[in-house]
Amino acid sequence: GAGVSQSPRYKVAKRGQDVALRCDPISGHVSLFWYQQALGQGPEFLTYFQNEAQLDKSGLPSDRFFAERPEGSVSTLKIQRTQQEDSAVYLCASSLALREGRDEQFFGPGTRLTVL
C-alpha cells in the first residue's frame, strides 16, 4: 500500500525566499509529525497534529516556520524568509494514534532543502 509521501523531494531556495513543503500521510492516520534532520544528526521534532488540530508546535525554531493541516489529511510546512541554517531534510511521519499497543510512526522520504 501507499506510504507517506512528501513533495518536492529536493528544493533549492535563495536566502530570503519562502518555501512550502507538502506531506501526504497514510490514509486513515490520525497523527502527523514534522521533524527536521540536519546533516549528520538525528531527526528533531518540529510540530504535530491530531486530525486538523495542531497539538504541539514547541519544536518550531522561529516564527518563520508555520505548519497547517486544514482538513486533517495533507499537511504543509511553510518556511518564510529562508536562512542558510534552515538547510536540512524535513521529514514527515504519520501514525494511527493508538492509545494501547504498538503505535508506529511511519516516515516519508523527506524533503531536502538547500538554502543558498
Partner 1 sequence: QKEVEQDPGPLSVPEGAIVSLNCTYSNSAFQYFMWYRQYSRKGPELLMYTYSSGNKEDGRFTAQVDKSSKYISLFIRDSQPSDSATYLCAMSAWNGNTPLVFGKGTRLSVIA
Residues near partner 1, by CB under 8 A: 4, 30-31, 33, 35, 40-45, 48, 50, 56, 59, 91, 93, 95-110, 112
Q: Are strands 75-79 and 88-95 parallel, antiparallel or unpaired?
A: unpaired
Q: Which one, 1 or 14, has the nearer CB to partner 1? A: 1
Tell me the closest approach of the beta carbon of residue 96 to partner 1, in angstroms: 8
Burial of 14 (0-12, 13-18, 19+ CB in 10 A): exposed
Q: Which is nearer to partner 1, 79 or 92 (CB)?
A: 92
One-letter amino acid of 13: A
Taking the complex as a whole, how short is the minimal distance between the CB of residue 81 and partner 1, in angstroms? Answer: 25
CB of 86 to partner 1, least distance (A): 19
Grid cell for residue 42? 538525528
Distance linking the first and last C-alpha atoms of the chain: 37
